[in-house]
Amino acid sequence: MLEKIDLTKKMGKKEFKQTMEELSGKLGTLQRECRNLKIPVIIVFEGFGAAGKGTLINQLIQPLDPRGFNVYAINGESDEEQLRPFLWRFWTKTPENGRIAIFDRSWYRRVLIDRFDGLTTEKQLGYAYNEIVSFEQQLTDGGNVMIKFFLDITKKEQKKRFDKMLESKETAWKVSKGDLKRNKHFAEYKMMNEEMLQKTDTDFAPWTIIEAMDREYAAVKIISTVVDCLEKRVSNQKELERLAREEEKLENVESVEVKPGFKSSVLSSADLTLTYTKEEYKERLDELQKKLSLLHSELYRRRIPVILGFEGWDAGGKGGAIKRVTQCLDPRGYAVNPTAAPNDIEKAHHYLWRFWQTFPKAGHIALYDRTWYGRVMVERIEGFCSTQEWKRAYKEINDCEATLAHSGAVVLKFWMQIDKEEQERRFKERMANPDKQWKITDEDWRNREKWDAYEAAVDEMLIRTSTTYAPWIIVEGNCKYYARIKVLETIVKALEARIK
């Protein structure tokens, strides 16, 4: 890829000035249009050291309203970031709809500088490319415009620029020992960049190589590319949204139709007669909670993160199970995340964004009372997302959970299963108890009318997203005692296996 690039391209000062004036006006207008159409934009700058990323980013942002963009300079991981999955710090910086995020180096650091420095292991490298491509596809499928620039210069030009910066105290700090080492081994580092470009150049997030020997030419090519990309997106956005709305409304209804004579193959197999007596429950509860308490300390010592997701029917026992898990945990080492309908800020981001904010750091436990699976259940059934969106969510969620597992996390997902009669009994019990009336709403009763549709959606979800690294556990929940013990037993067994 890089060997074919003509690095002799230049642009005269007069042509540069005239072209930049024209492009600057267009870019400012396009930023406003993207804001009005709620189009999020991500612009990535990668390339060889001293290629001029800082200067070129500064020229790019000059025509922009500073209230509408953020620039992120990505260096080595902080202590906090080292305790998270490597994509965590980038997910948390993805822009809300209508804003622009500009990255001076990015998630590619893991397969470039960190790889060169020996910080990225071969195992991590194998995962990293797939995770990066999946990350970019999720963002672009979710509506982001992804523009990636690779700034290319020669080894000789790089050395010349380094030497010039080192001559002055004001600029010498910009040149690190790592920069000089990569220049010394330029051919080796260039091969790593070639591999990265080949493996991550996709139709949804293509690379644009910038001939950066001449900074005027480079600046014009960068801004021209941004203008072209945004013009195309702005011109298509309204029509795409209109067509998507019309196509998906009918499909959402048809997609959850349950044909006569067919029952949910997964949920219907749960044995809801399983029970424990109160005495058996108390004995097993005490034993398991003591084990879990000790395991929690060991998880912290070994820096193993744990993610426990709870889904299930309304009144299925999620809260009771979560309470019995957390009763024995050090409160400094866990967080319970109740998931409600997304707020305005969350709606302005990719649907997974809000969950990335709360994924635990190493050694901590995160429990979720409802999860990211709302995308393929309530959002699917109620028509809050398109058919295309919930269908691709299966892969997006599997990829997300794979990233968590690759970072060392234990991921367990529980479906709290009860039958329709037991649910009705619990609803009525809550309505009769003043202390529990807050738990029951009109929406809960309305959802019962869609039981068959939800059952079909849940069945598909369980089949398509239960993986070796993030399995679903169906918890037979008509007996609350049995359900709570099964949850605790499953967690203890999984953590013991992970520690061993």
252 residue type, one letter: N
Q: How confident is the model at residue 257 (pLDDT cuts 50, 70, 90)?
A: low
DSSP line for 87-155: THHHHTTPPPTT-EEEEES-GGGGGTHHHHTT-S-HHHHHHHHHHHHHHHHHHHHTT-EEEEEEEE--H
Instruction: Check residue 244 and give its pLDDT.
Output: 66
Instruction: Check residue 432 and give its pLDDT.
Output: 87
Distance CA 252, CA 241 (A): 16
Mean pLDDT of the chain: 94
Instruction: Check residue 363 and give its pLDDT.
Output: 97
pLDDT in tens, 484-497: 999 999 999 999 99
pLDDT in tens, 168-191: 999 999 999 999 999 999 999 999
pLDDT in tens, 70-122: 999 999 999 999 999 999 999 999 999 999 999 999 999 999 999 999 999 99
Q: What angle do CA 279, 281, 285 make, to 5 degrees?
A: 125
Token pair, residue 270, equals 């749960």
Instruction: Check residue 388 and give its pLDDT.
Output: 93
DSSP state of 204: S
At residue 306, the 3 state secondary structure works out as strand
Please say if the pLDDT value at position 263 is more than 60.
no
pLDDT in tens, 346-358: 999 999 999 999 9
End-to-end CA distance of the chain: 45
Q: Which residues does 187 contact at the CB level (< 8 Å), separation at least 6?
A: 155
With a pLDDT cut of 90, the percent of the chain lying above it is 88
Distance CA 57, CA 149 (A): 11
Give the mean model confidence (pLDDT) for residues 280-294: 97
Long-range contacts of residues 136-142, Cβ cutoff 8 Å, at least 24 apart: 136/200, 136/202, 136/204, 136/205, 137/202, 137/204, 137/205, 138/350, 138/352, 138/396, 138/399, 138/400, 139/42, 139/94, 139/350, 140/204, 140/205, 141/204, 141/392, 141/396, 142/350, 142/351
Give the mean model confidence (pLDDT) for residues 49-65: 97
Instruction: Check residue 260 and give its pLDDT.
Output: 46
At residue 196, the 3 state secondary structure works out as helix
Q: Is the dihedral of CA 209, 213, 219, 221 positive or negative?
A: negative
Give the mean model confidence (pLDDT) for residues 464-484: 98
Of 94, 426, 122, 455, the closest CA to residue 259 belongs to: 455
Token pair, residue 101, equals 């995020």
At residue 227, the 3 state secondary structure works out as helix
Give the mean model confidence (pLDDT) for residues 311-319: 96
Instruction: Check residue 253 and give its pLDDT.
Output: 47
Please say if the pLDDT value at position 53 is more than 50.
yes
Fold of domain 267-499: Rossmann fold (3.40.50)
pLDDT in tens, 195-242: 999 999 999 999 999 999 999 999 999 999 999 999 999 998 877 777
Residue ranges, comma separated, of all CATH 3.40.50.300 domains in the chain are 2-243, 267-499
CATH number for 2-243: choose from 3.40.190.10, 2.40.50.100, 3.40.50.300, 3.90.650.10.
Answer: 3.40.50.300
Give the mean model confidence (pLDDT) for residues 276-304: 97
Q: How confident is the model at residue 251 (pLDDT cuts 50, 70, 90)?
A: low
pLDDT in tens, 127-173: 999 999 999 999 999 999 999 999 999 999 999 999 999 999 999 99
For tokens 């910080």, the residue is 119
pLDDT in tens, 356-401: 999 999 999 999 999 999 999 999 999 999 999 999 999 999 999 9
From edge to edge, which strands make up the β-sheet containing 145-152?
69-73, 100-104, 41-47, 145-152, 207-211
Distance CA 500, CA 492 (A): 12
Whether the CB-CB separation of 175 and 162 falls below 8 Å is answered with: yes
Please say if the pLDDT value at position 276 is more than 70.
yes
